[in-house]
Chains A and B, each alone.
Chain A
């Protein structure tokens, strides 16, 4: 599930304003790191291996991978 003992210093960022809740990314994720709860897409950072597949498949460009951990100030 995780990318080895040390997680890379990255975050899968979801722009909720842009997301249209189509759930296309859920089926493409190899690590089950995305799931839909009602109309809310949830990202499980601990499962994500930053393979960028969902980023490529998001038809509106709502997903991106940025440097930094979710709590660090680098993440917008």
Chain B
């Protein structure tokens, strides 16, 4: 149960994005409540657990070795027509243990002075009245209901976010732009323990990909698959993942199954309201090509905390001021996500032979270590390919 009845800021959801935002605001002296509906922060994990490189993470926090599973040294991408691209490069990213990671960030928030309340479920948010929003909360352990007030609410409640919908934002996961994913934790080790391995294309799964991410420290692999817009009666992702599991690790045991929806629409156009902001998965701050959202979620939380602080100092927490946070997000990663989405839409539109050709061009570039001449030649060939498939290109790039 929250200790107080009134707060400066209430953050809904103690994931990386919400916790980071709460940490920064608490460190600046605001009275912050971090409300988590689950009994334990970080459980259940619903993530492939691959993220960006150490140096990027250290922009936001002190990297704790406890949650680092694997230092990634490359990527293997299995495309259609037997084209396999292997890219080796030191320090391209990390595999982390999301349970420990989420708990670490939540602890940072607590250490900065934010009040973390687990088992605390927000049931509704009122419109702004007298400069505050009222929140209906339920203590899941004792099933008691109460209300608290906040001068500003941060919705970081992830992919199933309802907070945005309560205040009238259009945050629903709309079918063409949402991914259905599942992940099996398999008690085995991949032959390439420092590489991420992907399967994509018409030969495996076109509107999505299958992944194998090794967690070296724990000695398990995350094997999963995700697909855009599944149709009724199509093979579900669980069966597809099991197919790959039986092929790659026939004798290994599946320790855990988890899954969920991945928001892959690119940044929402509207994710702020009067005295309300969204960040992380709730604001669809996820890379639409890879589905990765840890770093962008954290960055979103960081930017949200900056603009909220600025808003408090200016005495203006209206939508018209907070819109600057939206613009900042677009500049910092939204643009990039939008471009990535175009590439994704182009690749999945291609028929099998052209898709194979696309992967061959990409392979030639990677095999030449992405040197400048190889890139120039590669881009020229890709332009040719796009010109030959102008319908797909037009659909993907000119929206």
Contacts and interface: CB of A to CB of B under 8 A. Distances in A.
Interface in A32-63: 32, 35-39, 52-53, 55-61
B261 A28 contact: yes
A29 B160 CA distance: 9
A39 B121 CA distance: 13
Contact of A26 (B121, B162, B258): B162
Interface string B339-359: 000000000000000000000
A20 B232 contact: no
Given A22-B258, A28-B261, A60 B230 contact: no
Given A22-B258, A28-B175, A52-B232, A60 B238 contact: yes
A27 interface: yes
Nearest to A60: B238
Nearest to B234: A56
Given A24-B180, A38-B140, A59 B260 contact: yes
Contacts of B173: 27-28
B260 A23 contact: yes
A59 B181 contact: yes
Nearest to A29: B172
Nearest to B229: A56
B221 to A, nearest CB: 18
Contact of A27 (B39, B172, B230, B257): B172
A66 B44 CA distance: 30
B165 A23 contact: no
B159 interface: yes
B21 interface: no
A58 B161 CA distance: 17
A30 interface: yes
Contacts of B38: 38
Interface string B224-262: 000001111010111000000000000000000111110
A2 interface: no
Contacts of B259: 20, 22, 24, 59-60
Interface of A: 20-30, 32, 35-39, 52-53, 55-61
13 contacts: A20-B257, A20-B258, A22-B44, A22-B258, A23-B260, A23-B261, A24-B261, A28-B172, A32-B162, A36-B37, A56-B229, A57-B175, A58-B236
